[in-house]
Amino acid sequence: MSPLRPYSKSRLARLSKEGRGLNGTFAAKTMPEIISAKQAQHEATRAAIRDLQKAAKSLDKPTVTPEEARALVKPRPKKKEEITRAQAEKLADAAYSQFRRLEASDDNGILRCFICRRPVKWNRAHLMHFHTRAGRTLRFHDQGTQPGCRECNGKPNGDRDNYALRLDAEYGAGTAERLTIESKTMTKRTTIELLEMARDYRLRVERIKEESPNKFSK
Ligand SMILES: [Zn+2]
């Protein structure tokens, strides 16, 4: 057995700094010390992760500012054909109205007015809105909108009372009231959504045209 190496001053200082005793004995750490050491470790890990995330983000960053990029690219004249939300809504309205009137009509394109039951050719019919389109919730609603004749739609308030009676007769008592409540909520559709709706209903109209060409004959 080799004799124990005498402790040098610097080694003693290091051991004491590390909290270690002599001859391989160690000062046992107290629980709070263990916890705070673990916390420090977690904190260090979190800091390392934050650094990595920061580094990854800076890689994604463009080397030119948006202003510089714009200056590099030829200024593009503002497209005149860019569609506003209001225009998109009109397109969706028109396609939806056409689809609903065609769908309600027979092979010869004749539908019956939802209110007065008079026969009318789909392309002379109107899509009657039980409530104004302003709230937008019922704008494309299959119960809140019904094909009808120009006369009924032109009556004051769109002949609302008879419209309500017909709604309840068709879909069950309380329908008109339920729709009125629903009409007071707001539905906001984006331009993209409206354009998609317009396209969807246009495609449906196209399909009807292929399958029932008679509806389109005069
Ligand atoms: Zn009518």
Ligand 1 centroid–CA 173 distance in Å is 21
Place of tokens 């008109």: 176
Residue 43 lies in a domain: no
Supply the pTM of this predicted model: 0.62
pLDDT of residue 22: 60
pLDDT tens-digit series, residues 24-50: 555 667 778 888 888 888 888 888 888
For ligand 1, the distance from its centroid to the CA atom of residue 125, given in whole angstroms, is: 9
Residue 164 domain-assigned? Answer: yes
Provide the domain limits for residue 136. Answer: 99-193
Q: In angstroms, rounded to a whole number, what is the distance separating the alpha carbons of residues 111 and 119?
A: 6
Cα of 141 vs centre of ligand 1, distance in Å, is: 19
Q: Do the domain assignments include residue 83?
A: no
End-to-end CA gap in the chain: 118
Residues with CB under 5 A from ligand 1 (ion): 113, 115-116, 148-149, 152
pLDDT score of 144: 95
Q: In terms of DSSP H, where are the helices of 6-148?
A: 9-17, 31-60, 66-72, 85-104
Q: Distance (Å, rounded) from C-alpha 114 to C-alpha 119?
A: 10
DSSP single-letter state for residue 26: B
Q: pLDDT-derived band of residue 151, with 50, 70 and 90 as boundaries? A: very high
Q: How far is the CA of 116 from the centre of ligand 1 (A)?
A: 4
Is residue 117 situated within a structural domain?
A: yes
> Residue 12 falls within a domain, yes or no?
no
Instruction: Specify the number of domains making up the chain.
Output: 1
192/135 Cα distance (integer angstroms): 19
**Residue 104 placed within a domain:** yes
